[in-house]
Structure 1
Amino acid sequence: MEFDVRTLDPTDPSTDPELLRGYLAAVNRGFHENRSGPEGERHWLADVRGNGTRLHGAWLPEGVYGAGVVPVATVVSWLGSLNTGSQLLDLHMVSDVTVSPANRRQGLARTLIERDLAEAAAAGRPMAALTVSEAPIYRRFGFGPSSFFSKVSVDAGPRFAFDYFEPTGRFVHVEPADLGDVPATIFDAWHAQRRGSVSRTAFFDAFVHGEWDWKGQKPEMGLRAVVHLDEHDEPHGYVLYRHGGWKQDHTVTVESLVSLSPEGELALWHFLTGIDLTDTVKATVPVDHILPWALQDRRCVKRSGPFDHIWLRILDVVASLEARPWYADGEVVLGVTDHQGHAEGRWAVRVEAGRATVVRSDARPEVSLDVATLGAAYLGAVDVPTLVHAGQIRGDADALATWAAMSDGGPEPYSLTSF
Structure 2
Amino acid sequence: MAMNGITVRSATKDDWSQIVNLAETAFGTRYDQPEKDHIPDLFPIERAIVAVDGARVVGHTVDRTMTVTVPGDNTVQAAGVSSVTVAPTHRRRGILRALYTAQHERTEAEGVPLTMFTASEGTIYGRFGYSTSIYSNEVEIDPRRAEFRPGTPDPGGVSIATLDEAKPHIREVYDRWRRLTPGGQVRPDANWNIWFGDPERYRDGATTLFVLTHPDGYVLYRRQWKDEGENLLRVDEFRAVTAEAHIALWRVLLSMDLVTKVEADIADDDPLPYLVTNPRLVKFTHRYDSLWTRVMDVPAALTARSYRSDLDVVVAVDDPFRNAGGSFALRVRDGVAACERTDRAADLELGIDVLGGLYFGGHRARNFAAANRIQVKDAATLRAFDDAFATERDPELGWFF
TM-score relative to the length of structure 1: 0.88
Q: Partner of 2:8: helix, strand, or coil?
A: strand
Query: Within 2, Cα distance between the matches of 1:214 and 1:203?
Result: 18
Given that 1:337 and 1:369 are in contact with CA atoms closer than 8 Å, whether structure 2 keeps it comes out as: yes
User: For structure 1, which segment, 123-132 or 326-335, has the greater mean C-alpha deviation from structure 2 after superposition?
Assistant: 326-335
Query: Residues 275-294 of structure 1: matches in 2 within 5 Å?
Result: 275-294=256-275
Given that 1:326 and 1:408 are in contact with CA atoms closer than 8 Å, whether structure 2 keeps it comes out as: yes
Query: Residues 333-344 of structure 1: matches in 2 within 5 Å?
Result: 333-344=314-325
Which residue of 1 is the match for residue 161 of structure 2?
A: 174
Out of 39, 47, 57, the residue aligned to residue 50 of structure 2 is 57
1:215 CA drift (Å): 4.7
Establish whether residue 394 from structure 1 lines up as the match of residue 375 from structure 2. yes
Given that 2:34 and 2:193 are in contact with CA atoms closer than 8 Å, whether structure 1 keeps it comes out as: no
Given that 1:48 and 1:202 are in contact with CA atoms closer than 8 Å, whether structure 2 keeps it comes out as: no
Establish whether residue 236 from structure 1 lines up as the match of residue 216 from structure 2. yes
1:74 CA drift (Å): 1.1
Establish whether residue 411 from structure 1 lines up as the match of residue 397 from structure 2. no
Letter in 1 for 2:37: R
Letter in 1 for 2:43: V
Which residue of 2 is the match for residue 78 of structure 1?
A: 64
Letter in 1 for 2:397: S
Aligned residues: 395
Query: Within 2, Cα distance between the matches of 1:161 and 1:53?
Result: 52
Stretches of structure 2 lacking an aligned partner (at least 5 in a row):
none
Q: Over residues 197-225 of structure 1, what are the superposed CA-to-partner deviations in whole Å (9 max), with x where a residue is unaligned?
A: 2333544312442443345799x962111
User: For structure 1, which segment, 390-399 or 347-356, has the greater mean C-alpha deviation from structure 2 after superposition?
Assistant: 390-399
Query: Residues 306-345 of structure 1: matches in 2 within 5 Å?
Result: 306-345=287-326
Query: Within 1, Cα distance between the matches of 2:35 and 2:24?
Result: 11
Stretches of structure 1 lacking an aligned partner (at least 5 in a row):
10-14, 229-234
Q: Over residues 293-319 of structure 1, what are the superposed CA-to-partner deviations in whole Å (9 max), with x where a residue is unaligned?
A: 011121221113432221110001111
Which residue of 2 is the match for residue 192 of structure 1?
A: 179
The structure with the greater share of residues assigned to helix is 2
Establish whether residue 147 from structure 1 lines up as the match of residue 134 from structure 2. yes
Out of 115, 128, 138, the residue aligned to residue 102 of structure 2 is 115
Which residue of 2 is the match for residue 45 of structure 1?
A: 40
User: Where does structure 1 differ by over 4 angstroms across 4 or more consecutive aligned residues?
Assistant: 36-40, 214-218
TM-score relative to the length of structure 2: 0.91
Query: Within 1, Cα distance between the matches of 2:39 and 2:247?
Result: 35
Letter in 2 for 1:25: N
Letter in 1 for 2:246: E
Which residue of 2 is the match for residue 29 of structure 1?
A: 25
Q: Over residues 94-116 of structure 1, what are the superposed CA-to-partner deviations in whole Å (9 max), with x where a residue is unaligned?
A: 11111111111111111111211
Establish whether residue 7 from structure 1 lines up as the match of residue 5 from structure 2. no
Q: Partner of 1:96: helix, strand, or coil?
A: strand
Letter in 2 for 1:404: D
Given that 2:114 and 2:301 are in contact with CA atoms closer than 8 Å, whether structure 1 keeps it comes out as: yes
Which residue of 1 is the match for residue 244 of structure 2?
A: 263
Query: Within 2, Cα distance between the matches of 1:180 and 1:243?
Result: 20
Letter in 2 for 1:226: L
Which residue of 2 is the match for residue 99 of structure 1?
A: 86
Query: Within 1, Cα distance between the matches of 2:266 and 2:204?
Result: 26
1:143 CA drift (Å): 0.5
Query: Within 2, Cα distance between the matches of 1:30 and 1:203?
Result: 23
Q: Partner of 2:123: helix, strand, or coil?
A: helix
Which residue of 1 is the match for residue 276 of structure 2?
A: 295
Shift in CA distance, 391/259, structure 1 to aligned 2, threshold 3 Å: same
1:186 CA drift (Å): 0.8
Query: Within 2, Cα distance between the matches of 1:404 and 1:37?
Result: 45
User: For structure 1, which segment, 375-384 or 289-298, has the greater mean C-alpha deviation from structure 2 after superposition?
Assistant: 375-384
Given that 1:330 and 1:402 are in contact with CA atoms closer than 8 Å, whether structure 2 keeps it comes out as: yes
Shift in CA distance, 370/20, structure 1 to aligned 2, threshold 3 Å: same
Given that 1:53 and 1:77 are in contact with CA atoms closer than 8 Å, whether structure 2 keeps it comes out as: no
Q: Partner of 1:4: helix, strand, or coil?
A: strand
Which residue of 1 is the match for residue 213 of structure 2?
A: 227
